[in-house]
Amino acid sequence: NFALETGVMQKTAFVTGTSSGLGLAIVRHFAERGWNVAATMRQKNRMSLFADLPTVHVIPLELTDPDSASEAFQNAVSHFGHVDVLVNNAGYCLLGPLEATSMEQIRQQYETNVFGLMNMIKIFLPHFRRTGGGRIINIASISADIGYPFVSAYGPAKAAVAMLSEVLNVELHAVGIQVKAVHPGL
92 catalytically annotated: no
| Among 92, 110, 148, 154, the one annotated catalytic | 154
CA distance 77 to 75: 6
Q: Are 44 and 60 in contact (CB under 8 A)?
A: yes
Q: DSSP code of 114?
A: I
CA distance 20 to 38: 15
Burial tier of 3 (Cβ tally within 10 Å: 0-12, 13-18, 19+): middle
CB atoms within 10 A of CB 91: 25
CA distance 85 to 63: 17
Residues with catalytic roles: 154
